[in-house]
Amino acid sequence: MDHHVVIAGAGPVGLWLAAELHLAGVRATVLEQRADRDERSRALTVQPRTLEVLASRRIEQPFLNEGVPLPGGHFGALESRLDFRRLDSAFPYTLALPQARTEELLEAHAVDSGARILRGHRVAGVTEHPGSVTVIVDSPDGRYEIDAAYLVGCDGTRSVVRAAAGIAFPGTASTVLGWLADVVLDRPPAAGYSHFGPEGTLMVVPMPGGVHRLVGITPADVTTTWPGDPTLDELRAKTIAMTGDDFGMHDPVWLSRYGDATRLAETYRKGRILLAGDAAHQHFPAGGVGMNVGIQDAANLGWKLAATVRGWAPAGLLDSYHAERHPVGARLTATSRAQVALMTAFDPAGLSLRGLFSELIAALPELNDRLAGRVSALDVAYPCAQAHRLVGQRAAEPELLALSRADGYTLMDLTGADGRLSALAGPHLSVHRAEPSRPGAGAVLIRPDGHIAWATDETDAGLIARQVTEALA
């Protein structure tokens, strides 16, 4: 592998991207300014679409072995929970797994794939050239430079890479402060406990190691004044004010406060510098979607960047990363704002609004499905010039996930003919014959990220071969 990509940030997004690049034949170096992995876990939820992404590389089982499957999620902490069991996926549930463990598993996958991870190494500057980018790095052993084909910022909301590239990050400042407490509870409530009322909103989630996470917002937290880190006494008082009980909380592992500042990068690509994850979008962590959307950014970007570096990408492929993922980021930030509005609706009118929405979710399965699809990201489909009903949709059947590859397309021959389409197979195209699982389809071309690039209802092998060749050009 003669080509090289530098990734800033060894969180879940950077680690997944590094693995994808190596699996597609591109060398990746990950620079992480922390000397050690962060053992705290901001995220706890692995959503269904992310599980499908993991399954596309056959590494989902360790996550399933350790995570706790939950049958649904929430939207704006409404009383009516979203039922994920209705979703069309091999993983119709959310998986409760601390981010620290998710990162550990993803790092093992990245290293096994060949990625190099340098901890204690911080991006200090960037210089872009016509055919490369030079990254200036501060390390424990001093400053040095790396020349690479591309640089990807997966380095969070305060992204050094984004700032160095001069990419604007417009949005709104924080007006609401959520808080979390990872503590030991002597009298924990029942699993799935949540509370909402004029005094505030509270959710309690069990975690490994005998610890529970409390997350909440009270009317006093609707403020633009940052009061500093919370104390256990403060959060105990807030919990008692809401529920009448502190559940016997003690021995805090982590206390944190976070705002609802919401921003979206103006562009996900500027020349040879790209952004993914929190470097591209900042929002309130409502519904446990942030880490998941970031990993899905990396899934979209990885194969496109590798194909570009290795020279087999069609014209404009790398630009399609922004075209496809920026709208997803815009929807993410809008959905987050809507959930914050519901979670801070403490006045009588707001409580009535929440009651109405909860009633509608319980009474209308299609509304449940619509919101569950949005939270889980299973409804993400990419626009495409071809008007076929399947194009842009996920191809997430288990048998298709098992055939997916990071370094090329997969053509499913559903014609039931004599296998003449097998002659199309090449370095970046695999051909597999299968019984039709999608009514009327004669052939389906699947991208490395699991979305359908092209499809036809025709069954004539010669015509299909010509159209596939055109689609890949």
Displacement of CA 380 from its chain's centroid (Å): 12
Q: Is 214 helix (H, G, I), strand (E, B) or coil?
A: strand
Terminal Cα distance for the chain, rounded: 24
| Residues 6 or more apart whose Cβ sits within 8 Å of residue 141 | none
Q: What is the pLDDT along the chain (473 residues), one digit of tens a residue?
A: 457 999 999 999 999 999 999 999 999 999 999 998 888 878 889 999 999 999 999 999 999 999 989 898 899 999 999 999 999 999 999 998 999 999 999 999 999 999 999 999 999 999 999 999 999 999 999 999 999 999 999 999 999 999 999 999 999 999 999 999 999 999 999 877 889 999 999 999 888 888 999 999 999 999 999 999 999 999 999 999 999 999 999 999 999 999 999 999 999 999 999 999 999 999 999 888 999 999 999 999 999 999 999 999 998 999 999 999 999 999 999 999 999 999 999 999 999 999 999 999 999 999 999 999 999 999 999 988 777 889 999 998 888 888 999 999 999 998 876 778 888 999 999 999 887 555 567 899 999 999 999 999 988 888 999 999 888 88
Q: Is 221 helix (H, G, I), strand (E, B) or coil?
A: helix
Joined together, the tokens standing for residue 237 give: 């008082």
What is the DSSP secondary structure assignment for residue 67, as one 8-state letter?
S
Residue with tokens 């980018």: 133
Residues pairing with 35 in the sheet: none
The structure's pTM equals 0.95
**From CA 227, how far away is CA 237, in angstroms rounded?**
16
**Closest by CA position to 269, among listed 310, 307, 297, 293:** 297
Is 344 in contact with 66 (CB distance < 8 Å)? no
Distances (CA, A) of 415 to 176, 428, 447, 464: 55, 21, 19, 10
Residue with tokens 């990396």: 298
In the chain the domains, ranked by start, together with CATH numbers, are 4-171+263-376 (3.50.50.60), 177-259 (3.30.70.2450), 398-472 (3.40.30.120)
77: number of Cβ within 10 Å: 23
What is the DSSP secondary structure assignment for residue 11, as one 8-state letter?
S
| Residues 6 or more apart whose Cβ sits within 8 Å of residue 330 | 264
